[in-house]
Amino acid sequence: MIRDFIYLQKSDRKVILTLLVVFVSVFTMVFLTGGDGIVTTSQPKDSIKSRTSKSYNYSSYTPKKVERFTFDPNTADSTQLLRLGLQPWQVRNIYKYRAAGGIYRKPLDFAKLYGLTVKQYRELEPYIRISSDYLPASTLVNDRNGYTRKEPKDSTTYQRPVKIKETEHLVLNTADTISLITIPGIGPYYARKIVQYGNRLGGYVSVDQLDEIDDFPTEAKKYLVISNPSPKKLNVNQLSLNELKRHPYINFYMAKTITDYRRLHGSIHSLQELRLLKDFSPEVIKRLTPYVAY
């Protein structure tokens, strides 16, 4: 009797199965979308339209132009700090630090500012001026007569170099790190980078080669000139693969191409012989020519 009661015809079973599939699909869609994708017939059309056509307006932020000028982090006000490109929350942290008795005694102390990147600090470093009023009192020594004098020259106090004027220039290949830091925008970091990269190249033949240094301040190039360049040349017929690839303009594949060409065809008399090879485009050959000998 129970079997006869629950027995359904084939067509009825198909209808019930279809309804179950539809019900499970609708339930799954509601569960995944949270009901946002379902619109009931009882909901007013105006409300649906207003919801679908709703636009979100965000206040536009126009960043201020970053300026560069000398400043003392111990006395600079919020307006000056914002003009330097610092964020408002960084300015608040500076004020809190100073209110708690904190003092910036040397430029490197400013690098501890939370959120300040290495690139930002390198750009600001040449413009930081720490007033002597904020130096430790131990830098003053009393003499017998009761007068005060500064410590000898071997004191750890760092004296900022005097920057050169716009009409003055330095010869790039002969300038050392001490003279390079007198260029506006150049601090000890970039001065070392300039000298190190020049040594790797074998000497500069163009001021534009400074752009090959990461994040180099391009405005500093106008203070540098090239005078009678005589770069160190690489003999491409004698140097080994490892010696060739040490040059910034020659990678491993280029060095291997040169050594393979020498092995198969003999000595190289001009880089133009390599112009048909994929690693030696006209631009590469032009850049490498001043540094090559045969």
Predicted local confidence at residue 234, as pLDDT: 94
DSSP 126: G
Predicted local confidence at residue 7, as pLDDT: 59
Q: What six digits make up the tokens of 262?
A: 């020498």
Q: What is the mean pLDDT of each run of 10 residues along the chain (294 residues)?
A: 59 78 81 58 49 45 73 90 91 90 89 90 90 71 48 50 90 94 93 95 96 94 94 95 95 95 94 93 95 94
Closest CA to 214 of 230, 190, 234, 195: 190
Q: Kindly report whether the global pTM for this prediction surpasses the value 0.75.
A: no
Q: Rounded distance, CA 204 to CA 170, Å?
A: 13
Terminal-to-terminal C-alpha distance of the chain: 107
Predicted local confidence at residue 57, as pLDDT: 47
Sign of the alpha-carbon dihedral angle for 92, 94, 95, 101: positive
Residues 6+ apart with CB under 8 A from 271: 236, 280, 285, 288, 289, 292
Q: Rounded distance, CA 179 to CA 163, Å?
A: 9
Contact 152, 167 (CB under 8 A): no
The region, left, alpha or beta by phi > 0 then psi within -120 to 50, assigned to residue 94 is: alpha
Q: Rounded distance, CA 279 to CA 273, Å?
A: 12
Predicted local confidence at residue 14, as pLDDT: 77
Q: Rounded distance, CA 208 to CA 80, Å?
A: 33
